[in-house]
Amino acid sequence: MDYDKLIAPAAAAMRPSGIRKFFDLAAEMPECISLGVGEPDFKTPWAVREAGIESLEHGRTRYTSNAGLKELRAEIARYLDRRMGLKYDPAKEVLVTVGGSEAIDMCIRTLVQAGDEVIIPEPCFVCYEPITTLSGGVPVHVACRQEDEFRLRADALKAAITPKTKLLIMPFPNNPTGAVMEREDLEAIAEVLRGTNIMVLSDEIYAELNYGLQNHVSIATLPGMAERTVVVNGFSKTYAMTGWRLGYACGPAPIIRIMTKIHQSAIMSAPTTSQYAAITALKDCDGEIERMRNEYNMRRRLVVKSFNDMGLSCFEPRGAFYAFPCIKSSGMSSEEFCTKLLEQKHVAIIPGNAFGASGEGYARVSYAYSVEHLMEAIRRIREFLNENCK
């Protein structure tokens, strides 16, 4: 069998995740301190776990409707209205998915056909480009700069738009930079898009992890934007539910209807136990959100100060749970810096170029770990700099 001829070219051309590469290397080192994977170190709140256990005890182990439990979709709509000011009809405008990643996949596959251009601000999460290319789309990367606090600027967006532009992905609060878009930033972006046929995929998985003076603002709340925006969110980051694999997409009914049809064929339905647990998360766990966010905020200040004290300039992130220090002063590339740090000091962080070419010269550091874990990693990184960057 000639497998090279059998495998679809778009699939063969996909580059492996730079995040998982370092995660796998770190897994082979028992003494390694990993600050690589973006996963909360908190346990899922007990009330949520208890709800999942109760659903199993009552034998609720059958398929749900394709779009998700009616009760969960209603609760998602109430939560988004209460916390974000977003209004959706749970019967027609909400789809429950297997994590936020599936929601992103369904949205791109619903909207993008061969030759369509998808604008992707970067540095950004690793899945947007490969899903776009697998759908036949053309990724158009727009670099976000540290001097702009890694925000997408309206003039840069406008310059990237062509007659072939179909979709803009808005990954804020951002992984890996921690950047956020304030209302005035979003209004400038919305002004560029109004009157066009360009849709927005607003990835808001870190919406609750916002450390600014103002709460998270969704672009879908701005005038004229709900009709052109699919909001993606989920339970992994907000409620420390990564392994439960549950997310959702909300948007215009015609778009959600087609996304649900694809989901029906590809997935069937999201995990039943997770859906019952998520109802409790949305109803009863606002206090847990605040508790985890306050802890992340303390760690954020510790990590940012530590990198700046080391001479690695670190933009102060306003969202998510990542720092993105600049390592250019070391004289090494991102890949070289992170590889040597792993080999010499057994600390795993992610090269910035794993998140796009504009991430070169930076590294992503997750602070979703205990203070003790972070302090030991910082000590080792300081030693590494002293030994390699004199």
C-beta of residue 241 within 8 angstroms of C-beta of residue 44: yes
Q: How far apart are CA 216 and CA 183, in angstroms?
A: 9
SS (H, E, C) 312-341: CCCCCCCECCEECCECHHHCCCHHHHHHHH
**Residue ranges making up the domain that contains 363:** 1-41+285-384
Q: How far apart are CA 179 and CA 134, in angstroms?
A: 28
C-beta of residue 203 within 8 angstroms of C-beta of residue 105: no
Q: Are residues 206 and 307 both part of a single domain?
A: no
Residue 390's pLDDT is 64
Task: Give the pTM.
Answer: 0.95
Q: Are residues 24 and 115 both part of a single domain?
A: no
Positive or negative, the CA dihedral 281, 284, 285, 290 is positive
Is residue 114 predicted with pLDDT exceeding 70? yes
Length of the chain: 390
Q: Are residues 220 and 123 both part of a single domain?
A: yes
Query: What are the structure tokens assigned to 137, written together?
Result: 């789309």
367-373 mean pLDDT? 95
Residue 86's closest CA among 202, 3, 5, 176? 202
Q: How far apart are CA 123 and CA 136, in angstroms?
A: 22
- Which helix (H) or strand (E) element contains residue 349? none
Residue 4's pLDDT is 82
Q: Are residues 123 and 238 both part of a single domain?
A: yes
258-270 mean pLDDT? 97
C-beta of residue 320 within 8 angstroms of C-beta of residue 303: no
Q: pLDDT for 271-293, tens place per residue?
A: 999 999 999 999 999 999 999 99
Residue 108 placed within a domain: yes
Residue 34 placed within a domain: yes
Scan for tokens 């998510």, then name that residue.
Answer: 320
Positive or negative, the CA dihedral 64, 67, 72, 74 is negative
Identify the domain boundary among 283, 299, 322: 283
CATH number at residue 51: 3.40.640.10
Q: Are residues 19 and 95 both part of a single domain?
A: no
In DSSP terms, which residues pair with 201 in a beta bridge?
A: 169, 230
Residue 7's pLDDT is 87
Rg (CA), the chain: 21
Q: Are residues 93 and 217 both part of a single domain?
A: yes
Residue 36's pLDDT is 85
Residue 253 placed within a domain: yes
Q: Are residues 314 and 190 both part of a single domain?
A: no
Is residue 302 predicted with pLDDT exceeding 70? yes
Residue 29's pLDDT is 73
- Which helix (H) or strand (E) element contains residue 167? strand 165-170
Residue 38's pLDDT is 84
Tally of structural domains, the chain: 2
Residue 390 placed within a domain: no
Q: Are residues 256 and 316 both part of a single domain?
A: no
Question: What percent of the chain has pLDDT above 70?
Answer: 97
Terminal CA-CA length for the chain? 54
Residue 153 placed within a domain: yes
Q: pLDDT for 184-228, tens place per residue?
A: 999 999 999 999 999 999 999 999 999 987 889 999 999 999 999
What's the pLDDT band for 120 if we cut at 50, 70, 90? very high
Identify the domain boundary among 283, 313, 330: 283
Distances, alpha carbon 270 to alpha carbons 28, 74, 278, 282, 378, in Å: 32, 16, 11, 17, 39
Residue 389 placed within a domain: no
What's the pLDDT band for 94 if we cut at 50, 70, 90? very high
Q: Are residues 155 and 245 both part of a single domain?
A: yes
Residue 11's pLDDT is 84
Question: Letter for the amino acid at 78?
Answer: R
Q: Are residues 77 and 165 both part of a single domain?
A: yes
What's the pLDDT band for 3 if we cut at 50, 70, 90? confident
Q: Are residues 269 and 357 both part of a single domain?
A: no
Q: pLDDT for 42-88, tens place per residue?
A: 999 999 999 999 999 999 999 999 999 999 999 999 999 999 999 99
CATH number at residue 368: 3.90.1150.10
Identify the domain boundary among 229, 249, 283: 283
Distances, alpha carbon 269 to alpha carbons 22, 95, 260, 274, in Å: 32, 10, 9, 11
What's the pLDDT band for 20 if we cut at 50, 70, 90? low
Residue 9's pLDDT is 85
Please state which of the ranges 10-19, 167-176, 332-341 shows the lowest mean pLDDT. Answer: 10-19
Is residue 296 predicted with pLDDT exceeding 70? yes
CB-based contacts of 89: which residues, under 8 Å, 6+ apart? 77, 253
Q: Are residues 103 and 130 both part of a single domain?
A: yes
When the pLDDT of each residue in the chain is averaged and rounded to a whole number, the result is: 95
Name all contacts of 156-164 with Cβ < 8 Å and 24+ positions apart: 157/119, 157/189, 157/192, 158/192, 160/119, 161/119, 161/192, 161/196, 161/198, 162/117, 164/115, 164/116, 164/117, 164/138
Greater confidence, 23 or 275?
275
